[in-house]
Amino acid sequence: MESKFSKVKVNNEVELCRVTDEKVKALVEKALLSERISYFIKWEKGGFFSDRQPSFVFCINEWQVEAAESAISALGNEATAKIKYVKRKTENFLF
């Protein structure tokens, strides 16, 4: 028997921001967890021959973007200066 949820496509994740500093990454994680916002991190490693640093892209549910932005902005200017907001749909299609 097929359930009514088996045909539902789920792709409501948004790439919220990109961070290259590991200390700021830890601060963003704590801020999101304190607001009970679920997230996952896409790790984009830098190329072997390129100047690009490894970066961490925080992905969250599109309905929690405003709460996440307010939690991150509460970190202060020093941390938020190292955060680049992306705000685009993720490219993964899981189902």
- pLDDT tens-digit profile of 34-91? 999 999 999 888 766 666 788 999 999 999 999 999 999 999 999 999 999 998 887 7
Q: How many structural domains does the chain have?
A: 1
Lowest mean pLDDT among 1-5, 23-27, 37-41: 1-5
- Sheet with 13-19, strands from edge to edge, namely 39-44, 55-61, 13-19, 83-89
95 has a pLDDT exceeding 50 = no
Mean pLDDT throughout 22-33?
A: 94
- Per-residue confidence (pLDDT) for residue 1, from 0 to 100: 56
Domain containing residue 34: 14-89
- Per-residue confidence (pLDDT) for residue 10, from 0 to 100: 62
Look up the CATH number of the domain holding residue 77. Answer: 3.30.70.2750
Distance separating alpha carbons of residues 14 and 1, to the nearest angstrom: 33
User: Of 20, 22, 18, 17, which is closest to residue 64 (Cα–Cα)?
Assistant: 17
What percentage of the chain's residues is helix, strand, coil (to nearest 5)?
Answer: 30, 30, 40
Residue 40 lies in a domain: yes
